[in-house]
Amino acid sequence: MNLGVLYKQYTSLSGVKAAVFVVCLGALSALALPFFYGLPLLFLTFPLLVVRLNRCTCGKQAFAQGYWFGFGFHSAGLYWLINAILIRAHDFWWLVPIVSPLCAILLAFWTGLVGLGFYLLNPRKKNNIVLFAGLWTLCDMSRGLVVPAQWWNPLLTGFPWNPLGSCWEYPGQLGNLLIQPASLMGVDGLTFFIVLLALTPLLKYKGLIVFCITLGFWCSFSFIRLASAPLANSKTPIVALVQGNIAEDDKINNTDPRRIFQKYLELTIKGVDLAKKEQLLQRTPNRPIVFVWPESAFPGDIEYDAIAREILMQNNPEASYGILGAVTQKDRDKIYNSLVVLNSKGASIAKEYHKSKLVPFGEMQPWYVPFHVVPGISLTPGYGNETFSLPSLASFAPLICYEIIFSGQIIKSGHRPKWVLNVTNDAWYGNSAGPYQHLAASRLRAVEEGLPVVRVANTGISAVFDPYGRELSRIKWGEENTIAVPLPGALPPTLFSVGGRYIPVMLSILSILVGFMWSRKTAK
């Protein structure tokens, strides 16, 4: 059978066979995401989806096509959630095979809207790639909507995991080149252009011209931007990243907290010693040293355990501050996932930040789910982004866990910091695509904001990125280790850091209007 016949056969499927085929297209598209990086697959799957949408005869059918594509995409892209359930398999064994599809049932609604919108706004029923790219980007961005914590609703927490723009985030120099336009339009702008380029095969030779011109401008901009590098700033600290590699079972059950504390103490002493050596190498004796523990790493109540705080800081007198992930409790009903900053003198608590964007089913129990899934009781959300300014230390923005995935929403308005700190615990997800997708988000935030990003994870991957998203150092997944990294200075505010998500929103709306007007004009 030749390719033409095969192509016609699969694009003409209907009923259950059509649904299965489109689900498979979506799942195949997920292989373009970090860890697999099969970006060329999108040049097959997205054109096939658009061809099928062009053949839809009603809005319901078009919504279904988009929905099943999204169902396959998110089911495959979030497969690693199975690892989190396996940790509590004795309670929720029945969720193991369906946890990713359950999430996809909700997330696929947005791709369903893409299909419906494409049907309604494309009366000519032709390969309107500008319209489709705008619709996909705008609907995908809607997944990141968050209701402020003051009137917080578990239905509207936002979950912008795995935007297609993260497909540009290849490891190493190639990725450095491809992600630079995020400084102009954020990861959502990258999503727009990868969808647009993936559909160029539909335009045949004209598509090849569009592809070459776009990629030419893309690479030229990136080369120019990477031609210079930020100078090190003596006020930015030397950061010691401490990765304890504690098993999640030990964290949940608080198994042998003395051993956990001792392990972190020994690693911290090693990390601070490495930072002292960096001071000597750079001949900057007054450059502050900061050590960082990952999310919920402190094995106890840090606010009341003054002895442990004193032991920690007394054994690291060269450190200006210690920054620790911890669970804190203000009263019986308010428990927070927190980041705590310790002073060098007296080991007192200088600052506290409480995570505001909580993970549904992981840290909070949605009211609409009749069975209990959260390990322990639900946490209380904090009150949004903050910028910490401390004596002798460059200001920084604290973020906990998946707060880093919210593009354009990590910096407090009017309080631009000098660097970003993200503490996290990806032990839940094992050595799967999950930690690599999370790492990609940190790298993209560095480019978007023009700020160095420090990521400290319990089991990895811990890493430091400069303001261009170039990796300075890392601790591999599953490794017990510490590193010390002198942070570079921040860049001037990027276009995206000023305009935020309004930039990709306007890009999407403009492309939708252009696509709609072109479709109406050619339909007459």
CA pair distance 211, 439, nearest whole angstrom: 28
Q: pLDDT (tens digit, 9 = 90+) per residue, 223-263?
A: 999 987 666 666 799 999 999 998 877 777 677 889 999 99
Q: pLDDT (tens digit, 9 = 90+) per residue, 29-65?
A: 999 999 899 999 999 999 999 999 999 989 999 999 9
**How many residues comprise the chain?**
524
Checking if the pLDDT of 504 tops 60, the result is yes
Query: Residue 455: its pLDDT value, please?
Result: 98
Query: Residue 452: its pLDDT value, please?
Result: 96
Q: From its phi and psi, is residue 228 left (phi > 0), alpha (psi between -120 and 50) or beta?
A: beta
Checking if the pLDDT of 154 tops 60, the result is no
**Top-confidence residue, 235 or 455:** 455
Q: How many CB atoms lie within 10 A of CB 259?
A: 12
| Coil, strand or helix at 130 | helix
DSSP 492: S
Instruction: Measure Cα distances from 399 to 65, 100, 333, 448 in Å.
Output: 37, 25, 23, 16
Structure tokens at 409: 């929403």
Strands 419-424 and 393-400, sheet pairing: parallel
Instruction: Measure Cα distances from 330 to 185, 310, 505 in Å.
Output: 40, 21, 40
Q: pLDDT (tens digit, 9 = 90+) per residue, 299-312?
A: 988 988 999 999 99
Q: pLDDT (tens digit, 9 = 90+) per residue, 163-172?
A: 999 999 999 9
Checking if the pLDDT of 180 tops 90, the result is yes
CATH superfamily ID and name for 238-490: Carbon-nitrogen hydrolase (3.60.110.10)
Please give the mean pLDDT across all residues of the chain.
88
Listing from the earlier edge strand, what are the strands of the sheet with 471-475? Answer: 388-390, 393-400, 419-424, 453-457, 462-465, 471-475
Q: pLDDT (tens digit, 9 = 90+) per residue, 339-359?
A: 999 999 889 999 999 998 887
Query: Residue 12: its pLDDT value, please?
Result: 72
Query: Residue 96: its pLDDT value, please?
Result: 64
Query: Residue 353: its pLDDT value, please?
Result: 95
Structure tokens at 80: 């690693």
Checking if the pLDDT of 109 tops 90, the result is yes
Query: Residue 155: its pLDDT value, please?
Result: 46
Query: Is this prediction's pTM over 0.85?
Result: yes
Domain chopping of the chain, boundaries: 13-226+502-523, 238-490
> Using CA atoms in the order 165, 398, 171, 503, what is the torsion angle rounded to 10 degrees?
30
Q: What average pLDDT does range 383-401 have in this prediction?
A: 93
Q: What average pLDDT does range 478-492 have in this prediction?
A: 95
**Is residue 383 very low, low, confident or very high in pLDDT (cuts 50, 70, 90)?**
confident
Q: Which residues pair with 417 in a beta bridge?
A: none
Query: Residue 428: its pLDDT value, please?
Result: 82
Angle between helices 433-449 and 182-198 (to 10 degrees): 130
Lowest mean pLDDT, pick from 75-79, 291-295, 333-337, 499-503: 333-337
The closest of 26, 71, 52, 163 to 118, measured between CA atoms, is 52
253 Cβ neighbours under 8 A, 6+ residues apart: none
